[in-house]
Every structure is written in structure tokens, then in C-alpha cells.
């Protein structure tokens, strides 16, 4: 775990994350692909994330368990946040220093369209595996 800083495209929102997990994950779910035009490639930053320019953040309630934040000035995606535990998944491209990142996981792999693929060997989780692990109440 390391500390990291970053910002949106226009600089209206800046952030510091105290506990970045340097392992990068790609999410191929339909919501992430619709949100950004491709997979969300993000790092887990835990709950200790401080924002400057919070007045420029808009939050979209995308599901019962998560919300997505973006800069209302430039539209940059800022986070996918699990509501219950306040954990932030933040796009890897926002960080000033990305040199220590390691791409190691793809989720919703069974939802990935056939027109792209990554050459990296990663761990993979299906939609059912992700829901079982992160949203078990959805299985009832």
C-alpha cells in the first residue's frame, strides 16, 4: 500500500489517497463500459481519500451498492465507490505517478465484448463470482 495524488483532466478536482493498492483491475461490466466507453481500469484506494474541489464533484447513484463520481466541469471519472464500506476504486489514469501499478485482475470477464482483449495474464472473475464476493445480498 502506498500514498498517491492525482487530479481530473481540468484540475478542478484533486485528491490524495492514503492507501493505494498498486494492483490494477479492469471491470468489463456493461455499466463501466457505458460510463467510459471501455473497461474501467482502476486501483483500490480504500476509504482514506481526500478531495480538493469537492464542489466540482457530482455523484451518480448507479446501483443499490455503489455510486460513481465525476468532475462536473470536465467530466473526468473520479471514482466508483462501494456505499456500505465507502471504498473507492479510482481510475488508474488519474494518478500523477503510475509507475508502481501492476495489472492483475479482470472482473465481469464473462461480460467482456470480443472486440478487445489484454495481453497481460491476470486473475479473472465472472459476474457471478463478483456478486457473490461483493454483493452477497443480491443473491437472495
Q: Per residue, what are the HEC states of 19-42?
A: EECCEEEEECCHHHHHHHCCCEEE
Q: Decide: 16 and 1 in contact? Cβ < 8 Å.
A: no
Alpha helices by DSSP H, the chain: 30-36, 127-134
pLDDT of residue 131: 86
Q: Which residues contact 118 (CB under 8 A, 6 or more apart)?
A: 26, 103, 106
- 46 Rama class: left (phi>0) / alpha (psi -120 to 50) / beta: left
pLDDT tens by residue, 66-125: 999 999 999 999 999 999 999 999 999 999 999 999 999 999 999 999 999 999 999 999
- 37 Rama class: left (phi>0) / alpha (psi -120 to 50) / beta: left
pLDDT of residue 140: 39
pLDDT of residue 139: 45
Query: Given pLDDT bands bounded at 50, 70 and 90, which one contains residue 133?
Result: confident
- Specify the pTM: 0.89
Position 136 pLDDT exceeds 70: no
- CATH number among 2.30.110.10, 3.40.50.2300, 1.10.1270.20, 2.170.150.70, domain 2-139: 2.170.150.70
Position 65 pLDDT exceeds 90: no
- 119 Rama class: left (phi>0) / alpha (psi -120 to 50) / beta: alpha
The residue ranges of every structural domain in the chain are 2-139
Amino acid at each position: 500500500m502506498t500514498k498517491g495524488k492525482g487530479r481530473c483532466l481540468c484540475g478542478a478536482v484533486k485528491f490524495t489517497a492514503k492507501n493505494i493498492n498498486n494492483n490494477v483491475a479492469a471491470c468489463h461490466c456493461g455499466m463501466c463500459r457505458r460510463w467510459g466507453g471501455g473497461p474501467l481500469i482502476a486501483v483500490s484506494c480504500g476509504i482514506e481519500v481526500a478531495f480538493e474541489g469537492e464542489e466540482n464533484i457530482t455523484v451518480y447513484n448507479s446501483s443499490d451498492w455503489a455510486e460513481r463520481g465525476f468532475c462536473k466541469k470536465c467530466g473526468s471519472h473520479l471514482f466508483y465507490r462501494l456505499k456500505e464500506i465507502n471504498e473507492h476504486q479510482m481510475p488508474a489514469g488519474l494518478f500523477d505517478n503510475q509507475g508502481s501499478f501492476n495489472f492483475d485482475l479482470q472482473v465481469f470477464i464473462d461480460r467482456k465484448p470480443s472486440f478487445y482483449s489484454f495481453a497481460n495474464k491476470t486473475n479473472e472473475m465472472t459476474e457471478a463470482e463478483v456478486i457473490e464476493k461483493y454483493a452477497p445480498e443480491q443473491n437472495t
